Amino acid sequence: MNQKPAQPRTAMNLQKINRFSAFAAFGFAFFCLLWAVLMLALLPAAAGQKDYSLMVIDPQWTLVAITGLVSSVFALFAVFGIYRQSHEKGGLLLLVGVVIFALGILFEFASLTWDVFIWPVVCANEQYIRFVSSGELIKTPQFMVFL
């Protein structure tokens, strides 16, 4: 019988990794675009530039922030998948670029974690919302060190 020789396991794994990387890149692009559209469509962005708490207390805030959080998770997988495909030709410059890009994604992920879990709690409390809406929180030295 004409049976094809079995492919080595590495070829099969590389194909799966390539597909996963493509899926991650598509997921990043899709959720990043969705995040931008939802932010402009659902949140009071104009009012939020003057008073950030107005955006945070909006009922759609968590949905929009989670969409951004999901996009950053996909972005991290996509970047490392792209690096895996190009690392032999890219050399040191590609490695440095991927490390810097991945670090930026991690910082974005940290910021979006605040948007999902911290800011809604802070802005739900009447005592603390004053610090956010007046800008006092952002002007404190400790907050600037954190940023």
Contact 45, 61 (CB under 8 A): no
Number of other CB atoms surrounding residue 111 within 10 Å: 14
- CA–CA separation, 68 vs 49, rounded Å? 18
Closest CA to 28 of 62, 80, 73: 73
Q: What is the mean pLDDT of residues 46-55?
A: 77
Contact 106, 79 (CB under 8 A): no
Distance between terminal CA atoms of the chain?
Answer: 67
Predicted pLDDT of residue 4 = 64
- CA–CA separation, 52 vs 17, rounded Å? 41
pLDDT interval class at 56 (50, 70, 90): confident
Predicted pLDDT of residue 47 = 76
Between residues 25 and 143, the one the model is more confident about: 25
Residue 84: burial class (beta carbons within 10 Å; 0-12, 13-18, 19+): middle
Strand ranges (E), the chain: none
Predicted pLDDT of residue 85 = 84
Residue 9 in this model has a pLDDT that exceeds 60: no
